[in-house]
Structure 1
Amino acid sequence: MKLIALDLDGTLLSTEMKITNENLEAIQEAQSQGNIVMICSGRAPEDIQQILNRYAMSIPLAGSNGSVVQDRGRVLNRVSMNPEDIHKIAEKLDEERAPYRIYTDDGIYLPADWSERVELAMEREKIHVEGLSDETYQRITEQPQRSSLINFFDHYSELFKEKEVAIQKFFVLTLNHRIKSELATYLEEIATIGFTSSHPLNIEVMDKNGNKGNALKRIAEHYGIAMEDTIAIGDNFNDIPMFEMAGLSVAMGNAEPLVKEICDAVTYSNDENGVAHAINKYILNK
């Protein structure tokens, strides 16, 4: 039995945000042979579950970059940030008027002035991302609609007034170099947090123990699988902790160059069924 950990965006999901039939068939065949497949993503657990439900997939998942680990609705581990760090980070982001989202055990929260913060960021020197389409840029920057998952606040302290929510992650949209650089320097001074990136235009902040490597380890322990029998497949910097922990690390063909360098192998891109290719080669021996 092996454990296969899959990132979502840029990995299992194509650029059209779909899981291809080829990828689904490879996953199902791996499962039929007794292997465990899990999702390990920077997305919120509820967001991941919505995607899995579309494809009738019932598998373990780790959301918020591994800060929340679940198996079929049961929470196996949750790593939340401490209040002191939350206040430091939120105050800094509000000072810069940076657009950010807070991932909690009660959904995702955004500043009510998200759109104004994005407009302000776009007036500054923008980070150029090669190959980023206008459609994708709009999707990244537009203000989400209020829903059962998405809520808004005027000030982050509102999250602690009526009921104190547990916060697992800050997702910060970083559209320009100065803000991203200054924020990274600021975060480096906070010893109890870890921060990473899943895209050139973001920084993601969690407790230092909330990462994909620890999530992979938790699911492996849950199923009694040795770490040498684990495989991690991903494309970006937030995948590095699980690459370092896994028995075999596989970078997508569309992965960041540095990510490819540190991995044991490289598969095809997310638009070329790279996940299916890796499963067929390293699990199914096709």
Structure 2
Amino acid sequence: MNYKLICIDMDGTLLNDKKEVSDENLNTLKKASGKGVKIAVCTGRLFASARYYAELIGVKAPVIASNGAYIREKDSDEVIYELSIGVDKCKKLQSILNKYDFNIYYNKYDAVITQNGFYEGNTYAAMNKNLSDKNKIKLITTEDIDKVIEEQGDDILKCICISNNYEGLAKARDEILEAGYYEVVSSNRDNIEIMIEGVAKGKAVRVLADFYNIAREEVICIGDNENDLSMIEFAGLGVAMGNATDRVKNIANYITETNNNNGVAKVIEKFIL
């Protein structure tokens, strides 16, 4: 098969456990791009965070951000697709989450909003240390989340709840799903990620493939966790990382090496180069 589009998850997939893109992954991606294959970063992170890694790759790569709620060309201002939660559904979601003692973060394409504050080791706070002022992620702490939702809810793409209370996360997940209106996935044991109904990485990959007139059979998707399931199912070649969850491995067409052993590069070498 002549594959034309590769959609790659970031955390646990393209990035090793040190949150780095290895030289082997980097060089292999550049070789694939040189052959005309389109490379897309596909992540639960917000666009401003994903853009940093898209630029690091060194190839012109579109970004699928917020688990598929936002698709944008890296080198232009063209937004290919956007689906926000909206004011009313954010209010309803917050009314559910008020019952739980979670760290709650609302994501826009370029900002993270919270009542909990940002500790120094927070992913986005740490990343900002390496970004130019123009590209820094806006970290907004508020004492009145309801007011922010009222004013900015139509721009909110995703809510992420983080907690070591795994039972509480599971209970909240069930309650949110029962309410309707929402998609709920997880990218790690300690979180749930909430988007508006209809948002999924798989749908976003389909939108991007259609944008480039690329057939489903010509798409490779690579991931490791629950929020990658829909795109791995959609792809002509769905690939699970060696460190992926069993659920992801069970639906994949192929299982590669781990994220710490250049699993992305191994896929490209086998199926593209």
TM-score, structure 1 as length reference? 0.85
Q: The residue matched to 2:270 in structure 1 has which SS?
A: helix
8 Å contact kept, 2:124–2:137: no
Mapped to 2, the partners of 1:181 and 1:48 lie a distance apart of 27
Q: 1:164 to 1:99 in 2, by over 3 A?
A: closer
Q: Is the deviation greater in 30-39 or in 105-114?
A: 105-114
Q: Which amino acid aligns with 2:22?
A: T
Uncovered stretches (5+) of structure 1, i.e. residues with no partner: 116-137
What CA distance in whole angstroms lies between the structure 1 residues aligned with 2:152 and 2:69? 21
How far did 1:99 drift? 0.6
Q: Confirm or deny that 1:275 pairs with 2:264.
A: yes
1:222 paired residue number = 211
Shift of 1:260: 0.5
Q: Deviations over 1:1-55 (max 9, x none)?
A: 5110000000000111111111111111111111111010000000011223344
Contact 1:104 1:165 survives alignment (8 Å): no
Percent identical = 29
The structure 2 residue matched to 1:241, chosen from 209, 230, 243, is 230
**Partner Cα distance (2:159, 2:153) in 1:** 16
Q: CA deviation at 1:144?
A: 4.2
TM-aligned CA deviation for residue 62 of structure 1: 0.4
Q: CA RMSD in A?
A: 2.2
Residue type of the alignment partner of 1:207? I
Match of 1:24 in 2: 26
Structure 1 residues 269 and 164: CA distance shift in structure 2, 3 A: closer
1:106 CA drift (Å): 5.0
The answer to whether structure 1 residue 100 and structure 2 residue 89 are counterparts is: no
Matches within 5 A, 1:62-73: 62-72=64-74, 73=76
Deviation at 1:114, TM superposition (A): 6.7
Amino acid at match of 1:166: D
Q: Aligned equivalents of 2:254 and 2:152: distance in 1?
A: 46
- Displacement, 1:185? 1.5
CA distance in 1, matches of 2:89, 2:152: 19
1:58 and 1:279 map into 2 onto residues whose CA distance is: 17
2 CA distance for matches of 1:109 and 1:266?
37
1:254 is aligned to 243
1:78-157 mapped onto 2 (5 Å cutoff): 78-105=82-109, 107-112=111-116, 139=121, 144=125, 148-157=137-146
Which 5+ residue runs of structure 2 have no aligned equivalent?
A: 129-135
Q: Matches of 2:231 and 2:124 in 1, distance apart?
A: 31
Output the CA distance in 2 between the equivalents of 1:281 and 1:94.
48
Contact 1:159 1:165 in 2 (8 A): no
Offset, 1:245: 1.1
Question: Is the partner of 2:98 in helix, strand or coil?
Answer: helix
Conserved 8 A contact 2:25-2:262: yes
Q: Kindly provide the amino acid, as one letter, of the partner of residue 283 in structure 1.
A: I
User: 1:148 and 1:47 mapped to 2: Cα distance?
Assistant: 7
Structure 2 vs 1, CA of residues 105 and 273 (structure 1 numbering), >3 Å: closer, same or farther? closer
Worse overlay, 181-190 or 224-233 = 181-190
Find the partner of 2:147 among 152, 155, 158.
158
2:61 to 59, 76, 89: 59
Matched residue of 2:167: which SS?
helix
Alignment check: 8 A CA contact 1:267 1:277 kept = yes
Asked if structure 1 preserves the Cα contact closer than 8 Å seen for 2:87 and 2:153, the reply is: no
Shift of the 38–186 alpha-carbon distance from structure 1 to 2, 3 Å rule, reads same
Indicate the larger mover: 2-11 or 158-167.
Answer: 158-167
SS of residue in 2 equivalent to 1:95:
coil
Matched residues, number: 261
